[in-house]
Amino acid sequence: MAEGPAASDSRGFGRAVRDAFFLLESGAAIVNHGSFGATPRPVLAAAEEWRRRMEAQPDRFMRTELPPAIRAAAEMLGRFIGARGEDLVFVDNATTGVNAVIGSFPLAAGDEVLTTTHVYGAVRNALNRHYRPAGVRIVEAEVPFPVSGEEEILAAVAAGFSPRTRLLIIDHVTSPTALIFPVARLAALARERGVAVLVDGAHAPGMIDLDVPALGVDWYVGNCHKWLMAPKSAGFLWAAPERQAALHPPVISHGYGHGFHAEFDWTGTHDYSPWLAVPAAIEFGAAFGWDIIRRRNHALLLEAVTLINAAWWTAIGGPPALLGTMATIRLPPALAGDGPADFAHARAIRDRLWAEARIEAPVTPFAGALWVRISAHIYNELDDYRRLAAYSPA
């Protein structure tokens, strides 16, 4: 990602934006945008307005207003990710999108699915649930961590293919390790071998300037409720045109057999307002400039990494070129303590960060150590990370 302006030059961002637009608790250092996002008031208001329209005349809304409104929102999201609106459908979240794809792509005993050791835990579970009973092998390419650069990622994944590999599932931005994977280059490796590619881009929209069709993949799943700042329950599934007919949502409803849009645009009665508020989220960011947001957040992240590393002297998950607006930094012994590098100990440290210092940051065990993941979005400023750098357990 290109270097942006100095993060200290963040006029109009940080506290000013937080106070004006977000509901986030004051006094806390919330440096975990990555997990669940945070939605600004104007976008919440847009969703509320859609709910008001729904409740004013539920029948009219569900039968006549909702279908074109979903398609209009898909058109606008399509423009944001470089795609045609007709090639994408909304889903409630990335988890649903991934389950739709793997549930629609049956494999036979002996076939292999390739992913990496950085795969999101819920996706690993879904692969086991869908494929293991059929005798499909799930192969996890061991991508080193910390990683030195793209070549190491490419070499690790290339070594994981076999003549039986049918599907490659790769993250665009990894969850436990916050690395941007070279998706287009990885997809090219798969295509050379006739392997289908699903990208889990849960973190990418709003963090990375996207041109989804140019990546050369079969399916791309993304979240709008993370870096795009849409209300929660707004994700999407893009599919190459030739993949759409065989793609079904995990929940089958009236549209079954009537095509891609009919199947996904109605999956039973629920609150569709988060999907319909996606255009408001795109517009909210556009008022600042999405490119300015991405550059400023990336610059702030790098400053934050530098200052935390100056205090801890440990390790950073990857080089700046593989970082977007999240990064992982290894905990120093003073914070990691004597406990094992496991989820229970990680959880205890995370809880203490909040209880003792009102810092919200995920701690994850990975590659035999404990790592903290920091995020940088428009409401963050350097003071948030200074608090983490200065923290010592009571």
Ligand X SMILES: Cc1ncc(COP(=O)(O)O)c(C=O)c1O
Q: Is 116 in the site for ligand X (CB under 6 A)?
A: no
Q: Is 143 in the site for ligand X (CB under 6 A)?
A: no
DSSP 340: -
C-alpha distance across the termini of the chain, in Å: 38
Euclidean distance between CA atoms 227 and 234, whole angstroms: 11
At closest approach, how far in Å is the CB of 64 from ligand X?
Answer: 30
> How many residues bind to ligand X according to rule CB under 6 A?
14
Q: Is 95 in the site for ligand X (CB under 6 A)?
A: yes
Contact stretch for ligand X (CB under 6 A) within 24-32, 200-208, 237-245, 361-369: 200-208
Please, which of residues 20-79 interact with ligand X by CB under 6 A? 35
At closest approach, how far in Å is the CB of 241 from ligand X?
Answer: 24
Among 46, 74, 94, 370, binds ligand X (CB under 6 A): 94
**With respect to ligand X, which residue has the nearer C-beta, 40 or 274?**
274
Helix axes 278-288, 41-56, angle to 10 degrees: 150
At closest approach, how far in Å is the CB of 174 from ligand X?
Answer: 6
Contact stretch for ligand X (CB under 6 A) within 120-128, 178-186, 244-252, 378-386: 120-128
Please, which of residues 309-348 interact with ligand X by CB under 6 A? none
Q: Is 375 in the site for ligand X (CB under 6 A)?
A: no
214 CB neighbour count, 10 Å cutoff: 10
Query: Reduced to 3 states, what is the DSSP secondary structure of residue 247?
Result: coil
Residue 175 and residue 202 in contact, taking contact as beta carbons nearer than 8 Å: yes
Residue 236 — φ and ψ, nearest 5°?
A: -145, 160
Helix axes 290-312, 278-288, angle to 10 degrees: 80
String of b and e for 318-352 (b: at least 16 CB within 10 Å)?
beeebbbbbbbbbbeeebbeeeebeeebbeebbeb
Q: Scanning the structure block, which residue is given the tokens 């997809």?
A: 187
**3-class secondary structure per residue, 209-220:** CCCHHHHCCCEE
DSSP 157: H
Among 120, 264, 284, 391, binds ligand X (CB under 6 A): 120
Q: Is 200 in the site for ligand X (CB under 6 A)?
A: yes
- Amino acid found at 72: A
Give the x-and-dash track for 149-188 against ligand X (CB under 6 A).
----------------------x---x-------------
Q: Is 202 in the site for ligand X (CB under 6 A)?
A: yes
**With respect to ligand X, which residue has the nearer C-beta, 10 or 93?**
93
At closest approach, how far in Å is the CB of 289 from ligand X?
Answer: 25
Closest by CA to 71, choosing from 54, 52, 90, is: 90
**With respect to ligand X, which residue has the nearer C-beta, 171 or 303?**
171
Euclidean distance between CA atoms 226 and 37, whole angstroms: 4
Q: Is the dihedral of CA 295, 202, 274, 44 positive or negative?
A: negative
**With respect to ligand X, which residue has the nearer C-beta, 223 or 314?**
223
Strands 359-360 and 88-91: unpaired
**With respect to ligand X, which residue has the nearer C-beta, 175 or 297?**
175
Euclidean distance between CA atoms 63 and 58, whole angstroms: 8
- Please compute, for residue 279, the number of CA atoms within 13 A of its CA located in the half-sphere on the CB side: 14
At closest approach, how far in Å is the CB of 120 from ligand X?
Answer: 4
Q: Is 203 in the site for ligand X (CB under 6 A)?
A: yes
**With respect to ligand X, which residue has the nearer C-beta, 84 or 232?**
232
At closest approach, how far in Å is the CB of 257 from ligand X?
Answer: 26
**With respect to ligand X, which residue has the nearer C-beta, 226 or 243?**
226
**With respect to ligand X, which residue has the nearer C-beta, 201 or 279?**
201
Give the binding site for ligand X (CB under 6 A).
Answer: 35, 93-95, 120, 122-123, 171, 175, 200, 202-203, 223, 235
